[in-house]
A and B are shown apart, each in its own frame.
Chain A
Amino acid sequence: MSDVNFVHWPTDLLTPQSSPFDPRAFTRSGGRSLGGLSRFTRTDRGFWVGSYKGIIFRRGQQHDQARAWTRLRTDLGGQAGLVAVPVCSTRLWAAEGYEDFTPGLYPHDDEMPFDDDTPYSEGRIRIEMASFAPLSSTVVTLRLVDAPTAVGIRFSYQHAMYETGSLIEQTGADTFRVPVSPAIRQAIPADAWLEADRPTVLCRLASDAEMDIEFPGAGMPRPTVNFVEAVDIWNDLALEAA
């Protein structure tokens, strides 16, 4: 089980017009009073629910895109399949001096690209985990190597995405203690690099029919795909490691 099989959503080819991803907290209450008042208690910070809305099929590219779509659908095979979905988060990082988020492209240190002539791609923002973040912790310390802020941002580590709340404490010149939501899915070692420009979430399709697509006689389709975070995988991985 330790080798989790998943595919990457080809966001460069199948680009959504918007990709809302939101955490769903678990709350319990005793119901509302007649006046509409209620008391809520949270039992978990929850999990990610999201979608790719209005995936763009372009006239010149639609055949490639259609093939990529069917390929992806076959790889996934309904809700059982796992997909790492990138969520564009540069909006949260934009600040003075942080306007251009074109990924940097670099070869190996001997100036050689990969064998298909593609170089490495690196995001603009650089943050790392300043101290070990144990499983299920909800407070982490981030080190900003080249980033404007640690508050109200998103990052991911090994396809588990988190977002941060307001600052608890500045522990050093560039280290910040912030609450994260949802709880840490897999322990993050100290000094680990975190994906910040385009964090990814390990997801399942929200229903078996999520990848249905229809090519109209005229015009292009604009399908929407809904995702739910594949939290059970994190449970399995944690149990395996325990």
Chain B
Amino acid sequence: MAIKSIRVLVRIEFPNGATTRVWDGAGPYLDVDGELWQGVRLNDGLDQIESAMNGEAATLFLSVSGVGAEGADLAFEDLQAGNVIGGTVQLLIQPLDQWDQPEGDAEVRFTGSIDNMPMDDVAQEEGIISTITLEVTNRFSLRALTSGAVLSDVDQKARSAILNPGAPADRFAERIPGLADKTIVWPRFS
């Protein structure tokens, strides 16, 4: 039978050890393990999860609204204090039964680390709205290559330094700059 309802959970573990749990809903949610999840509205980013699941989308922009001014202030203080960048973000889906009670364990769908946290204040007629966006990357972000781009030696060496620290630099793309502008005449009969 098709699943009628689920809960979308986001767990953020900050470098200072604090854990924040939020979910895409209205009120607070107490899970079977006694952990409390705070209700927020996840605006953007959930649509990217689907592609993130098979590793294609490496960067996830997770935007949260319904954050109080107080919360936004705290978030900014934490960001300044270096408590945000490098944190772990996990996206989980909790299947629910027909009465919206949790059924089984929450399944992890995406794990990444926080790359940046831009904050935005939008002045509208209804008031000033603060949103917090988490830019989350996973290990596939290094593989991301714009369509039509060519490998460059510098990028490849930087990549190998992160993926395989300690090993000698990757020389795979060393000859590419030389080959990029090389003219090959074909056929040559002489």
Contacts and interface: CB of A to CB of B under 8 A. Distances in A.
Secondary structure of the A contact surface, majority rule: mixed
A28 B99 CA distance: 18
Contact of B27 (A39, A168, A234): A234
Contacts of A44: 7, 23-27, 39
A47 B100 contact: no
A137 interface: yes
B28 A239 contact: yes
A227 to B, nearest CB: 14
A195 B115 CA distance: 48
A235 B39 contact: yes
A94 interface: no
B26 A238 contact: no
Contacts of A235: 27-28, 38-39
Contact of A229 (B4, B6, B26): B26
Contacts of A232: 66, 68
A54 B41 CA distance: 31
A58 interface: no
Nearest to A26: B25
B99 A42 contact: no
A42 B27 contact: no
B30 A238 contact: yes
A81 interface: no
A26 B30 contact: no
Contacts of B41: 26
Interface in A98-153: 134-139
B152 interface: no
A136 B96 CA distance: 13
Interface string A36-49: 00010111111100
A127 to B, nearest CB: 20
Contacts of B28: 135-136, 185, 234-235, 237-239
A40 B26 CA distance: 18
A148 B4 CA distance: 31
Given A208-B126, A239-B38, A139 B99 contact: yes
A179 B28 CA distance: 17
B122 interface: no
Nearest to A41: B6
A183 interface: yes
A232 B6 CA distance: 21
B101 interface: yes
B27 A138 contact: no
Interface in B3-32: 3-8, 23-30
Contacts of B149: none
B72 to A, nearest CB: 13
A206 B128 CA distance: 14
B2 interface: yes
Contacts of B4: 41-42
A43 B25 CA distance: 7
A205 B2 CA distance: 38
Given A26-B24, A134-B30, A168-B99, A43 B8 contact: yes
B52 to A, nearest CB: 16
Contacts of B6: 41-43
Interface of B: 2-8, 23-30, 36, 38-39, 41, 46, 66, 68, 99-101, 126-127
Q: Across the A-B interface, give the 5 residue pairs with the lowest CB-CB distance, nearest first.
A: A44-B25, A238-B28, A42-B5, A47-B26, A135-B30
Interface of A: 26, 28, 39, 41-47, 79, 134-139, 168, 179, 182-183, 185, 207-208, 229, 231-232, 234-235, 237-239, 242
Given A43-B5, A235-B28, 6 more contacts: A43-B6, A43-B7, A139-B99, A208-B127, A229-B26, A231-B27
15 contacts: A26-B26, A26-B41, A43-B5, A43-B24, A44-B23, A135-B30, A135-B36, A183-B100, A185-B28, A231-B27, A235-B27, A235-B28, A238-B27, A238-B36, A239-B28
